[in-house]
Amino acid sequence: MKEVLQALEIELKRLASEGVEAVVVDDESMAVLERLGRKAQSDKLVSRIGHFESSDSPEEILPEVEEIKFADSSDTKSNIASIKEKPITARIVKNYTDTDFKIAPIPEPSPFELPAGDKAAKWNFLRDKVLSDPVCNAHVKPQKKVVFGVGNLDAKIFFCGEAPGADEEIQGEPFVGRAGQLLTKIIAAMGLSRSDVYIGNIMNWRPELPTSKGNRPPTQEEMAYCLPYLKAQIEIVNPQIVVALGMTAVQGLLGFDPTRRMGKMRGNFLDIDGRALMVTYHPSYLLQYGNPKTKRLVWEDMMAVMEKAQIPISEKQRRYFL
């Protein structure tokens, strides 16, 4: 059994290094891990890979563990035991149901058209539409805000994140918390400011948890609802390059595929609707697991973006994180 747990740890570390920010662990799997007397270690593993505030202690995370489970086999033991031969597949978390806590149902997105007019007219229309969208608003707690993209409507570079967090839903602006401050520093290292680029998220609301602490990745249904709003922002801004920050953003933008790996996708331009797409690690990942190597990888991705956008790169910039 010790080997199984070691294999599990190795697999979780591998997934984390691939940029996977959450895995799903069902109650049964958690119970097996607990029975093994390794509760503390398993909590630590889950919290390490989970998408939770680093200040959250395992005890605070535990009540939320039901939203994390391994693969989808009901045979938990063989499921865990099979990790050695067949790596587990990280999935975006299951949907909460009304029985978990109050969550408004997510309908299919309704088609809409942008009005005629210039970029500002289209953007203002879209912003009003999103901020007044009843589905988005039904998922926002009292005093909190629906979050729409910000930035330069003529930006060459469009950064796309996952979902607002605690700070973003208070301020109603993407990437203003700790991860946002790091993104702002990355943008500054590129010789740009936030007003030179556009910053949006797949999600327009912070995915709810029963507690006010911690974040969870959005479900596929949640992302599918908000995606047309993100795509309309891309259409309006018409950037040369979209930068997807983290695997959740990638899964949202390109459609869910559990075989995708950050390590294989980052570093080269991909395509999204005929436009260049660069995939890189999420700033939250850098905050949690960042080492000089990952920082350099992100920086190489950003230099590739700068080259494509014809932004000059100094010799000093080329040496960052070496």
Q: Which two tokens stand for residue 44?
A: 């630590």
Residue of 133, 129, 140, 66 whose CA lies nearest to 103:
140
Quote the least distance from Cβ 206 to ligand URA, whole Å.
9
Give the number of C-alpha atoms closer than 13 A to the C-alpha of residue 307, restricted to the C-beta side. Answer: 12
Quote the least distance from Cβ 176 to ligand URA, whole Å.
7
- Nearer to ligand URA by C-beta: 163 or 192? 163
Quote the least distance from Cβ 291 to ligand URA, whole Å.
20
For every residue of 12-78, DSSP letters joined together read: HHHHHHTT-------HHHHHHHHHTT-HHHHHHHHHHHS---TT--HHHHGGGGGG--SSS-S-HHH
Q: Which residues are near ligand URA by CB under 6 A?
A: 161-165, 168, 174-175, 177, 179-180, 201, 284
Residue nearest to ligand URA (CB): 161
Quote the least distance from Cβ 183 to ligand URA, whole Å.
8
- Nearer to ligand URA by C-beta: 175 or 281? 175
Q: How far apart are CA 307 and CA 309, in angstroms?
A: 5
CA dihedral 297, 45, 251, 193 (to 10 degrees): -40
Q: How far apart are CA 64 and CA 213, in angstroms?
A: 10
Quote the least distance from Cβ 229 to ligand URA, whole Å.
14
